[in-house]
Amino acid sequence: MKYLSVSETAKKWEINERRVRALLQEKRIEGAIYENHRYLIPENAKKPLDRRIKGQRLFEDSPLKGIDIDFKNYRKQYPSEDGYFGRYGGSFLPKHLQKAVDEVYAGYLTIAKSAKFINELRDIRKNYQGRPTPIYHCQNLSNYLGKVQIYLKREDLNHGGAHKLNNAMGQALLAKYLGKKKLIAETGAGSHGSAVAMAAAYFGLECDIYMGQVDIEKQLPNVNRIKVLGANVIPVTKGTATLKEAVDAAFEGWAKEYKTAFYVIGSCVGPHPYPLMVRDFQEIIGREAKEQFKELTGELPDIVTACVGGGSNAIGMFEAFLEEPVNIVGVEALGSGLEVGKNAATMTIGKEMVLHGFNSLVIQNKEGNVADAYSIASGLDYPGVGPEHAFLHEIGRVKYEAISDDEAAEAFFLLSRLEGIIPAIESSHALAYAIKCARNMKYGSILVNLSGRGDKDMNYMLERYPHMFK
């Protein structure tokens, strides 16, 4: 019997040596022996099957079991022509705004598949945004937690420090095509506002950013960045003075200027075609990640996860993995508890209704009105969720979990200390879920979309969690 070394086996199976050693430790390579402090692998040993097909699963059922949808052609089927994912989505707007949205949709359909538009967007992504962003193996964090390997899709390295620019540049390019003179946007954490301000500067457009007063105080670094980029920050003081009210105000502002302005919605919410456009512009995340992870490890991850507020970074990450036998998990903000008003866990406690021009799940109070949402993360404290997320939840393809403020804070400081990477507190929710899984799984791999960097959150986190800092 001829035996191969770990490096020779890795080359033969087209995976890296770390992955071969993991398979050996899991005792999944038949006939392998250990002698003289090294592993020897039979030349005729078969590469083990993907563990999602044979072996440990995180969830009881296969992620694709019992779902009667052809995910290979999913994007062609959803949304429907009138913007529905199942019963979620659509467009519910006053006539004058519906006219403006129809113009957006017609323009998008005209240029979205054109070579000129696609090539210009590719050039922007490569030479302005710095894409592709890499995948990073958190070896220190993984070793600290156990045997489960955690990987990050580094959207924090995208220009501007978050995933938001993927969508902002695409919509701004469309606005330029339509002859608009101004970009209007809402923002919670400030990342989308910064991205739209960058896009406006790039294309030479005016820019108004609506932001809740509470978020302005929490996210001062991003507020200053928006101003430096030449955009106007318009404070919103109504209600809870957070993201929902900023969206309300942005819609009101757009209603007054829709003939010359373009509303750049930052998440996969709003009236059709915004959930479609945002998905299309953000799916670059998942496409890159899928290819990179295969190249890095020779297989797919066991779990793919991302934080969910409205859900743009998550839908961008998930889309490429829907057809694969991979567990996909969206992570919402549990805040300080399950009581209405203390969280932004729409999938957990939300009910169906129309909000901001689309039908989806929304957190409601006892009277059936939109309730206040709360999260330590300004980018997650939205009472609704994108219609596609509601649909994927309903059919069971994506699982949605909730992480508390304190759990997210622990993840924020843990990644910073062990890997030298400061995550956005929004992204820390998905990271916290990965950490929780890693502590309870025997082995496996988890791919987290690190949707943004945490520069904007440092002062607030140090003030709120001084005991974790020490």
What token pair was written down for 274? Answer: 């915004």
The secondary structure of 14-80 as a DSSP string is TS-HHHHHHHHHTT-STT-EEETTEEEEETTPPPPPPTTTSS--SSSS-TTTT----GGGHHHHSS-
Distance CA 63, CA 329 (A): 11
- Name, in order, each residue with C-beta under 8 angstroms of 50's C-beta and a sequence gap of 6 or more: 299, 300, 325
Residue among 171, 166, 254 at smallest CA distance from 210: 254
Residues facing residue 149 across a β-bridge = 445
- Name, in order, each residue with C-beta under 8 angstroms of 385's C-beta and a sequence gap of 6 or more: 269, 308, 309, 310, 311, 332, 346, 347, 350, 360, 361, 362
By the 8 A CB rule, do 55 and 360 touch?
no
Residues facing residue 305 across a β-bridge = 329, 448
What token pair was written down for 82? Answer: 């009138």
Is 207 a known active-site residue? no
Active-site residue, from 96, 163, 192, 389: 163
Half-sphere exposure of 203 (CA within 13 A, CB side): 28
Distance CA 415, CA 395 (A): 33
Distance CA 148, CA 58 (A): 12
Active-site residue, from 37, 137, 138, 437: 138
Strand order in the sheet with 351-355: 84-85, 88-89, 358-362, 351-355
Is 138 a known active-site residue? yes
b/e sequence 428-438, b meaning 16+ C-beta within 10 Å: bbbbbbbbbbb
Q: Which residues are catalytic?
A: 138, 163
